[in-house]
Amino acid sequence: MSKACDALRPDISARLDDEVDRQRALELEAHIESCPSCSAYEERMRATRRALRVHTAERVPDLREPIMARIRTEHPRVLRRREWVTGARVGAVAAAVAALVVLASSIPFSDRQPQSASATEIVAQVREAAEDLDSYRATFSIIERGYPAGVKERRFNAQVFYEAPERFRLRVRDLTTYPDPRWPANDIDLVARPRQWWIEQPRTCPVEVLLECPLPQGTSERTVVERQPFDGTSTLPTDIIVPLETLASSGDFEISGSGNVIGKPAVKVTMPYREALPLVGALQPAGLWREFHPLDRVDIWLDEATWFPLRFEVRADDSEGRAAWARLEGYRDSPGRTVLEVGARRFSRKAINPKLFSVPSDGTIRTGDFVAAPKGADWIEPSYTAGLDPYRRGLTPDGRWVSSWARGMTWLKLTGGGRGGASVLPASAEQVRLA
């Protein structure tokens, strides 16, 4: 494999997430067709996405059938979409509703099973918290171990700002002192508002050849404008605010303790990394990070009052094949070693200055060509929307209409009409056709 192929790997991965412009996508497609190594790499990336990102969402209680019954009477074609946050799905409420997540910090825990809430009750209360949340800001500390940069651990500071339903800002700053100045700071910025989305990240080669990278060190920027509501191709890593998708889509989480975290009563839940991806990946929407094995264990501490995550940790598992995987990836993780720690230092629900959500228009710019429009005569207007308020509506370039409703972090989105079938959906989306 050549260094030129190595340099293309980030763009090949970004292409799978629809994060490169059309011209670049065509160039990459031509190269992949003529390069067996990059073709194999692309297939591995697709397999990884299928393994880590596609889960069976839990059955939606109570609300789906009342909504669907009303919609069926009008005989449209409807899409139900369960979007992903940073590559992670957003939880469903009613026909196509999403909601989000939590974070944390440490202190002693008991091993007794909490008496206050079962797993089902926790999911229900997290849903309520997501619906009631209007604004949120928090600061987190991150410690990562095992990254092959010649340092024992890397440390980061992350700031999160959110205003329901589609304003989000993430600022990650790398505090690590690297032994070689050629290692780039893993600084990441992401800003989103209803019609715009922007991200800036380091521009460099894969870690294996980073010190010999022929590319000039710097950053790359991508901008999406004219977004439709809850766009699946430029999603927000909001599972860091309230972890509904992480919990609701996990068939494998257990309540493993209770105690106090930063002075707040908290419940501890445990699940494999493959189930916790929406939360763990929320602060890593881009940049250079170590990998985790699908069966690594994730401990999450949730504030019992707000259901914000106060802390989470990823621990190396001792499962069969994990050691071989680590050797292949270049990691030296002993079983049980904590390879990632994320803790909330402070959080608040106070209102946020709108200027914090100003979106630059730099770098590669892609447009969704979504145009706001009043309701048309053939658009669906369900009589029951589970208490959600009318939000954004309009038309896509192919003539499809889009209507949305939202409250807090939960939303409902309906689409119909159009000249050429359904739009591109996230890997986890589910399409429902109604006769």
Residue 177's Cβ-count burial label (10 Å; 0-12, 13-18, 19+) is exposed
- The per-residue pLDDT for range 258-275, each reduced to its tens digit, is 999 999 999 999 999 999
Best CA proximity match to 35, nearest among 74, 2, 10: 2
Q: Is the pLDDT of residue 60 over 50?
A: no
Residue 176's Cβ-count burial label (10 Å; 0-12, 13-18, 19+) is middle
Under the banding of pLDDT at 50, 70 and 90, the label for residue 419 is low
Averaged over 135-153, what is the pLDDT? 95
pLDDT > 70 fraction of the chain, expressed in percent and rounded: 77
The pLDDT score that the predictor gives to residue 65 is 52
Q: State CA 206 to chain mean position distance.
A: 22
- C-alpha dihedral sign at 269, 273, 277, 279: positive
* Cβ neighbours, 10 Å, residue 81: 27
What is the total residue count of the chain?
A: 435
Averaged over 204-209, what is the pLDDT? 83
- Listed in sequence order, the residues at least 6 apart from 27 whose beta carbon sits closer than 8 Å to its beta carbon are none
Best CA proximity match to 13, nearest among 190, 283, 206, 277: 206
Q: State CA 423 to chain mean position distance.
A: 20
Largest CA distance in the chain: 66
Under the banding of pLDDT at 50, 70 and 90, the label for residue 19 is low
- The per-residue pLDDT for range 390-416, each reduced to its tens digit, is 999 999 999 999 999 999 998 899 998
The pLDDT score that the predictor gives to residue 9 is 77
Main-chain phi, psi angles of 368, to 5 degrees: -90, -10
The pLDDT score that the predictor gives to residue 227 is 94
Cα separation, 291 vs 79, whole angstroms: 33
* Per-residue tokens: 300: 């999450």
Average pLDDT of the chain, as a whole number: 80
Q: Please state whether the peptide bond connecting residue 360 to the residue before it is cis, i.e. omega within 30 degrees of 0.
A: no
Q: Is the pLDDT of residue 116 over 80?
A: no
Averaged over 227-255, what is the pLDDT? 86
* Cβ neighbours, 10 Å, residue 280: 25
- The per-residue pLDDT for range 346-375, each reduced to its tens digit, is 999 999 999 999 988 778 889 999 999 999
The pLDDT score that the predictor gives to residue 79 is 30
- Any idea where the domains of the chain sit in the sequence? 3-53, 64-357
Cα–Cα separations (whole angstroms), residue 334 to 271, 323, 325 = 19, 8, 12
- Listed in sequence order, the residues at least 6 apart from 214 whose beta carbon sits closer than 8 Å to its beta carbon are 3, 7, 205
- The per-residue pLDDT for range 378-391, each reduced to its tens digit, is 898 888 888 999 99
Averaged over 134-152, what is the pLDDT? 95
Strands 153-163 and 135-145, bridge-based pairing: antiparallel
Averaged over 337-354, what is the pLDDT? 95
Q: Which residue has the higher pLDDT, 401 or 425?
A: 401
Q: Which residue has the higher pLDDT, 280 or 17?
A: 280
Which residue bears the tokens 């069976």? 56
Q: Which residue has the higher pLDDT, 107 or 63?
A: 63
CATH number of the 64-357 domain: 2.50.20.10
* Per-residue tokens: 150: 């010649």
Q: State CA 135 to chain mean position distance.
A: 18
Averaged over 119-137, what is the pLDDT? 91
